[in-house]
Amino acid sequence: MEFFDIFVSILGSAVRLSVPLLFTALAGLFSERAGVFDIGLEGKMLAAAFASACAAYVTDSAWMGLLAGIGVSIVFSLVHGFASITNRGNQIVSGVALNFIALGLTVVLGQAWFGQGGRTPQVSGEGRFTPIILPGADAMREVPIIGPLYVNVISGNNILTYIAFLMVPIAWWVLFRTRFGLRLRAVGENPGAVDTAGISVAWMRYRAVIVAGFLCGFAGTYLSVAQSAAFIHNMSAGKGYIALAALIFAKWKPVPVMLACLLFGFLDAFANFMQGKSVPLIGEVPVQIFQAMPYILTCVLLAGFIGVARAPRAGGVPYVKER
Amino acid sequence: MTTASVPLPNWISYGLIPLLNLMLAFFFSGLVVWAIGENPLKALNFLIQGSLGRGDAIGFTLFYTTSFIFTGLSVAVAFHAGLFNIGSEGQAYVGGLGAALAALALDHYVPWYVTMPFAIAGAAIFGAAWALIPAWLQAKRGSHVVITTIMFNFIGAALMVYLLVNVFIVPGKMAPETRTFLPGGQLPKLDWLMGLFGLDQGPAPFNVSFLIALVMCYLVWLLIWRTKLGYEMRTLGISPSAAIYAGVPYVRTVIIAMLISGGLAGMMALNAVNGAAARLQVEFVAGAGFVGIAVSLMGRSHPVGIILAAFLFGILYQGGADLSFEMPSITRDMIVVIQGLVILFAGALEYMLRPTVVRIYQQFVKA
C-alpha cells in the first residue's frame, strides 16, 4: 500500500505541475492553428505572472490578479500581432524579442516598485487561489484505491486547475465545432482561400493571438498567485518552451495536448521524487535526465520515430494579399 | 500602390532604416527608465562612463564584444542560409566542453600557443556537433530548426550540469566547475594591445580570443561572399525552391551551414572559458547566444555590422553593470529589456518604417 500512496502523491503533483503547461500549450494551439508561430509563450506567461502578483498584492483579490495577468498577456499578444500580422515581420524574431522584454521588464519594474530585488511582496488570504476541498472528500478518504485518488488528485486543487482541464473540451469544441474554429484553422492552412471567401485574414489571426494571450494570462496567474504566493525572477523557467514541445508532441490537437502536458508534468513530479534516491541495479539516476526528457521526446517525435508531426501549412508565413 | 516593391538606395536600406529602428528601441528604453522615475539622459551618461570611461571598463566592454562577435557570426551564417539558429546558446555551452578538454589535457605540458589551436578546434567541433542533430532533422525530416535548437539548448544545459556536477567537479569542492587551468591552458590577456593606446585594462579579461574573433569575421565574409558554398547558402536563404531547381544540394548545404554556425557559437567559449575564467563553469554562456540574435539582426548579418553591433552590446553589458551600481533602482535586467526592444524594432518590426521612408524619399526624388 505504501507504493500506491507514493504513486498517488506523485500523480497529484503531476496534475498541479501540468496546469501552467496546459494553459500555455492551449494558447499556442490557437495561435499556431491560425498560422502564427508563438515562441513568445514563455514571455507572456512571465509577464502575466508578474502583473497578477502585483495586482493581487495591491487589491488583495486573486480575481483582480487574474484580470491583470490576462490584460498584460493580451497586450503582449497584440504587440506580437502588430509585428507579425500587420507588419509582416518574422514571427520567431518577434517572439524572441517579447520573451526578452518580459524577462527584463518584470525585474526592472519589480525592483522599482517594491525594491525586493525583483520579487513582489507575498500575497495571502483573498489574494491567492487556494485549494478547494470537493464535497465528500472526507467521507471518501477511507475507500480503498478510489479514496486516495479522489482526495489527493481530484479534490484539493485550486479553481484554476479545474478551469485548465475544462478548457480542453472547450478548446476542442471551439476549434472543431464552431464557424470561428473552422475559419481559424483555415487561416492557418490556406489563408488565400479564406481571403477569397471574403473573410479578413488579419482580423482572424488577431483574434487567434488574443485568445492565446487570454490563456497565457491564466498560466502566469497560476504560477504567481496559486502555486506560489509571489512573483520571482524568471519564475516561468522555460515552461513556455516545454508547453511548445507539448504542443508539437500532441501534433496540434487539443486532447493529445492535455495528455502531453500531463506526461511532461508527471516527468517533472517524478524527477522531484527521485532526487537523491537510488534505483536497484542502476544506482542514483541523475535528475538532469528527467529535466531533459520532454525535449528529448519531442526531438524523437520530430525525427519521425513516433508518427509524423505536421505543422499547420501556413504557419510562420505572413499573409500578403497581392501574391 | 504598395510601397514594398519600391527600390531604395543602399544607404537608406542598410544605413538609415536600421538606425531609425535602433533609435526607436532606445527611445522606448528611455521611456522605461523615465517611467521608473530616473533621468534617461543621466542614465545614458553613467552607461557610457561605465563602459568607455576607464581602461578596465574598456577592457570589460571589449571582452563582452568578443563573445557577441562569435555568437553574432553564428546566427548570421545560419541566417544567410535561411535558417534561424536559436541554439547558439546551447552550442556555445557544449563548445565550452571541447575548449576545456583541450586545456585540461595539455596545460601541464605545453605553452598556451600550442594549446590554442587544439582549444579552437575542440570548441568548434563540440559546438558544431551540438548543431548536427537539429541540422539533420531540418534537412532530412523537415522539422523546424527553430524548435529543435530550442530543445537542444535545454538538453545541452542538462547535459553540462550533469557533467560538471558528476564528472568534472574537483573532489572536495562544492562549486560545480573544473579545476583551474594552468597558464598553458589559458589565453593570455591583450595588455600590450591596450598599452598601444595608453590604456591599462587592470583586472579586465580582454584576451587573445578577440583577435580570433576578428579573423573569424574575415573568414565568414570570405565564405559568404567569395566562395561557391557561400553563394549556394545565400541562394538557399533567399529562395529554397529556386536554389534546389538550380541544383544546390539542399541537405548538404543546410547541414554544413548549421555546422559552421554551431562551430562559431562554440568558439565563444574560448573567450569565456580559456580567456576569462580559466575553468569551465555552470552557465558560463550567460545569455551571449541570445544576444547573438540581436547582434546579427542589427548588423544585418554582415561581419562589419556584427562587429559594430557586438561593440554596442558590449557597451550595454558593461555599462549596464556600472549603471545599476550608480542608480540602484535600475537593475542589470534593464539590459535585457533593451536587448528585447532592439530585437523587436530591428528585427520583427524592420519593415514598419519602410512605407513612410519610401513616401518621403519619393517626394524628394520628385522635387
pLDDT in tens, B53-110: 888 999 999 999 999 999 999 999 999 999 999 999 999 999 999 999 999 999 999 9
**Quick one: pLDDT band at residue A31, thresholds 50, 70, 90?**
very high
Residue in chain B closest to A111 (alpha carbons) equals: B329
Concatenated DSSP letters of A241-294 = HHHHHHHHHTTT-HHHHHHHHHHHHHHHHHHHHHTT-EETTTEEPPHHHHHHHH
Beta bridge partners of B230: none
State yes or no: pLDDT of B3 exceeds 80: no
pLDDT in tens, B159-183: 999 999 988 988 888 888 999 999 9
The mean predicted confidence, pLDDT, of chain A is 88
> Distance between CA atoms of B167 and B146, rounded to whole angstroms?
31
Mean pLDDT of B30-58: 91
* B81 in a structural domain: yes
Residues in chain B: 367
pLDDT in tens, A240-285: 988 988 898 888 999 999 999 999 998 888 888 877 777 776 777 7
* B34 in a structural domain: no
User: Phi and psi for A157 in degrees, rounded to 5?
Assistant: -100, 165
* B246 in a structural domain: yes
**Quick one: pLDDT band at residue B121, thresholds 50, 70, 90?**
very high
Query: How far is Cα of residue B66 from the mean position of the Cα atoms in its chain?
Result: 8
**Quick one: pLDDT band at residue B2, thresholds 50, 70, 90?**
low
Which residue matches cell numbers 479553481? Answer: A159
Q: Determine contact, residues B232/B260, Cβ cutoff 8 Å.
A: no
pLDDT in tens, B233-292: 999 999 989 999 999 999 999 999 999 999 999 999 999 999 999 999 999 998 899 999
B180 secondary structure, DSSP code: P
Q: Which three cell numbers stand for residue B176?
A: 560545480
Residues of A in Cβ contact (< 8 Å) with B17: none
CA-nearest of A268, A270, A16 to A152 is A16
- For the range B105-113, what are the long-range contacts, defined as Cβ-Cβ under 8 Å and sequence gap of 24 or more? B106/B184, B106/B185, B107/B181, B107/B182, B107/B183, B107/B184, B107/B185, B107/B186, B108/B182, B108/B184, B109/B184, B110/B184, B111/B183, B111/B184, B112/B183, B112/B184, B112/B185, B112/B186, B112/B187, B112/B188
State yes or no: pLDDT of B207 exceeds 90: yes
**Quick one: pLDDT band at residue B367, thresholds 50, 70, 90?**
low
* B239 in a structural domain: yes
State yes or no: pLDDT of B297 exceeds 90: no
- This model of the complex carries an ipTM of 0.89
User: Phi and psi for A44 in degrees, rounded to 5?
Assistant: -65, -40
Verify whether the Cβ–Cβ distance B349 to A322 is below 8 Å: no
Using a CB–CB cutoff of 8 Å, tell me whether B163 touches chain A. no
pLDDT in tens, A230-244: 999 989 888 998 898
Mean pLDDT of B208-219: 96
* B198 in a structural domain: yes
What pLDDT was estimated at residue B195?
Answer: 87
The mean predicted confidence, pLDDT, of chain B is 91
**Quick one: pLDDT band at residue A319, thresholds 50, 70, 90?**
confident
B67 to chain A, minimum CA–CA distance in Å? 19
A73 to chain B, minimum CA–CA distance in Å? 16
pLDDT in tens, B132-144: 999 999 998 877 8
Highest mean pLDDT range out of B121-135, B162-176, B345-359? B121-135
* B36 in a structural domain: no
> Distance between CA atoms of B280 and B169, rounded to whole angstroms?
10
State yes or no: pLDDT of B50 exceeds 60: yes
Range of the domain at B234: 16-28+53-366
What pLDDT was estimated at residue A306?
Answer: 62
* B57 in a structural domain: yes
Residues of A in Cβ contact (< 8 Å) with B349: 82-83, 87, 89, 94
B46 to chain A, minimum CA–CA distance in Å? 17
Residue in chain A closest to B344 (alpha carbons) equals: A97
pLDDT in tens, B4-16: 677 888 888 888 8
What angle do helix axes A2-33 and A239-249 make, rounded to 10 degrees? 80
A321 secondary structure, DSSP code: T
Q: Compute the Cα dihedral for B177, B182, B188, B191 and give only its sign.
A: positive
pLDDT in tens, A125-141: 888 888 888 877 777 77
Q: Which three cell numbers stand for residue A22?
A: 496546459
Answer with the residue of higher pLDDT: A143 or B46. B46
Q: Walk me through the domains of chain A, giving residue ranges and CATH numbers.
A: 2-302 (1.10.3470)
The 3-state DSSP class for residue A157 equals strand
Beta bridge partners of A284: A278
> Distance between CA atoms of B283 and B195, rounded to whole angstroms?
32
What pLDDT was estimated at residue B1?
Answer: 47
pLDDT in tens, A43-60: 999 999 999 999 999 999
Residue B140: which CATH number?
1.10.3470
Q: Determine contact, residues B46/B319, Cβ cutoff 8 Å.
A: yes
Q: Compute the Cα dihedral for B102, B103, B107, B111 and give only its sign.
A: positive
Q: How many domains does chain B have?
A: 1
Residues of A in Cβ contact (< 8 Å) with B147: 244-245, 248, 298, 302
The 3-state DSSP class for residue B178 equals coil
Verify whether the Cβ–Cβ distance B347 to A108 is below 8 Å: no
Q: Which of residues 321-360 of B touch A (CB under 8 A)?
A: 329-331, 333-341, 343-344, 347-352
pLDDT in tens, A169-219: 999 999 999 999 999 999 999 999 999 999 999 999 999 999 999 999 999
* B35 in a structural domain: no
State yes or no: pLDDT of A148 exceeds 80: no
